[in-house]
Structure 1
Amino acid sequence: MTGIELNKNLVIAIEASLKAGEVIMQVYDTAFDVEHKDDKSPLTEADKRANDVINSFLRETPTPIISEENKQIDYSIRKDWDTCWIVDPVDGTKEFIKRNGEFTVNIALVQNGVPQLGVIYVPATTTLYFSDTLKKQAFKSVLSAHNTSIEDVLKLASPLQTKTTSNVVEVVGSRSHMSQETLNFVDHLKSSGKEVTIVSKGSSLKFCLVAEGNADIYPRFAPTMEWDTAAGQAICSAVGVEVISEDTKQPLLYNKENLLNPWFVVAKH
């Protein structure tokens, strides 16, 4: 789709995500080692390499970076940032280790706590989602290679369209984290007379399912961090899908003192 004009920061984020995807797949195709961080979450060479690549692109901008794999900067400094990048170099490391392809590169630009631009790249399928929330534009491009030019990304782009109403409610469940609270949520939908089906996905692809019309709702009643959700929220927001905190009943905010998210529900409002 031509005629799309991209914010220069969005171009940088797309280029960073594609290059990160390339180095991730280089590791994916080898017998890689798995380490575990202090919080017991897994870490591979792909996380580290992708983080280095993304930082090399984003550090060309004047905007500071919050990344899962960077040393976390104290809130006494972060609180003065009106704009920042929020990055997860490999979202879905568990899926990466399982080699099921459901892992992503997440890059978002956040201003005053609100996601403005989002990129989610799926290296295993060379599928790219990107959005500009201010322009209310979100697109998907299925690429043939990681080194696709921005011009070709735009030629291949199709606008995301959310699902039209139907009798069946498609609920997104986590591939690795289905909690009892989520099961209770599904039971509540069923008890209200709705026919419910579960769609399982790993990583931030769960946001993409709702944004592109392949699901209705994604309840997340289990821990996530800001880097898990910022890019997905940017893509959803651009197409009228909201990511609503169970605590505040308002959209999730970013660059908080505590980078842990509250529980949330993703749905069209």
Structure 2
Amino acid sequence: MNILLLTAIKAAIHAGADIMNIYSDDFEVTLKSDYSPLTIADENANVVINSYLEKTAIPIISEENKQTPFSTRKNWDTCWMVDPLDGTKEFIKRNGEFTVNIALIKNNAPVLGVIYIPVSKTLYYAEVSHNKAYKIELNAHEFTEEVLKNSIAIAPKKSNNNQITIVGSRSHKSEATHAFIQSLEAHGNDVRLVSKGSSLKFCLVAEGHANIYPRFAPTMEWDTAAGHAICNAVGLNVMQVDKNEALCYNKENLLNPYFIIQ
């Protein structure tokens, strides 16, 4: 296995263990400058992940790191993209729908991705060039060789006649998403909506539990990079709504445009 993918897997599992130590106890919630919530779980997971990724000597873009100016970042052909706790709102609600996201970006595109769901100990990972993505449910928050041996390949599903399952955000619903669903129904489709938090939405489409994930609400690059890699590895496209181009990474503005996965 690619040593960088292996490093990201170990980092995600270790971070998940730390997150769960806090999840089972009381914790304080503060607000960042953009009014998004922050907990010590976000911060601790970030420290853990940095401790692994810094050893690779590849620069890191993380939601919880101080951001490097674009004047420096624009010269990076490779970087890590990290959300140490994606779905902090779901973490606070204690509904289990939060993840650890780690991706490697090369020439503005994700080339590998890892998503770990701490509550269920479920790991997804992919190296895009191999055209396969994998899933495994662990017995404990630890990496062993059995993780790789027992992982199973996942694949998306094709639409069944006019039945379409759409996955949407649990905490970021929008009128544009509702209008998108109505447009599908107007063409005679039987549309079912499933709501999930964090990057779980990418995983549901990648493993065939949903057909489409339309996102008409703000996301940052660290929210999408790992899921983008996993979806690309199984043949799915993550395309911008306003033009026929894939999402790209390490932009000057790390805010994503709206996108659709299918």
TM-score by length of 1: 0.96
Aligned ranges 1:1-269 → 2 under 5 Å: 6-149=1-144, 151-167=145-161, 168-267=163-262
- The percent of aligned pairs where both chains have the same amino acid is 58
The alpha carbon displacement at 1:135 in A equals 1.0
Which amino acid in structure 1 is aligned with residue 25 of structure 2?
Answer: T
Q: Alignment partner of 1:214: what SS?
A: coil
State how far apart, in whole Å, the 2-side matches of 1:241 and 1:161 are: 10
Which amino acid in structure 2 is aligned with residue 155 of structure 1?
Answer: K
State how far apart, in whole Å, the 2-side matches of 1:135 and 1:163 are: 19
Which amino acid in structure 2 is aligned with residue 99 of structure 1?
Answer: R
Q: Alignment partner of 1:11: what SS?
A: helix
State how far apart, in whole Å, the 1-side matches of 2:257 and 2:129 are: 24
Which amino acid in structure 2 is aligned with residue 55 of structure 1?
Answer: N
State how far apart, in whole Å, the 1-side matches of 2:179 and 2:164 are: 15
Which amino acid in structure 1 is aligned with residue 141 of structure 2?
Answer: H
Q: Alignment partner of 1:20: what SS?
A: helix
The alpha carbon displacement at 1:246 in A equals 1.2
Unaligned runs of 5+ in 2: none
Q: Is the 1:142–1:156 contact (alpha carbons within 8 Å) kept by the matching residues of 2? A: no
For residues 158-208 of structure 1, the C-alpha deviation after alignment (integer angstroms, 9 at most, x for no partner) is 001111330310001111011000000000000000000001110000000
State how far apart, in whole Å, the 1-side matches of 2:159 and 2:193 are: 16
Q: Is the 1:93–1:103 contact (alpha carbons within 8 Å) kept by the matching residues of 2? A: yes
Q: Is the 1:68–1:87 contact (alpha carbons within 8 Å) kept by the matching residues of 2? A: yes
Q: Is the 1:143–1:156 contact (alpha carbons within 8 Å) kept by the matching residues of 2? A: no
Q: Alignment partner of 2:179: what SS?
A: helix
Q: Alignment partner of 1:138: what SS?
A: strand
Q: Over aligned residue pairs, what C-alpha RMSD do you find?
A: 0.6
- Which structure 1 residue ranges, 4+ long, deviate > 4 Å from structure 2? none
TM-score by length of 2: 0.99
For residues 126-154 of structure 1, the C-alpha deviation after alignment (integer angstroms, 9 at most, x for no partner) is 000000001112000111110131x1111
For residues 208-244 of structure 1, the C-alpha deviation after alignment (integer angstroms, 9 at most, x for no partner) is 0000000000000000000000000000000001100
Which amino acid in structure 2 is aligned with residue 253 of structure 1?
Answer: C
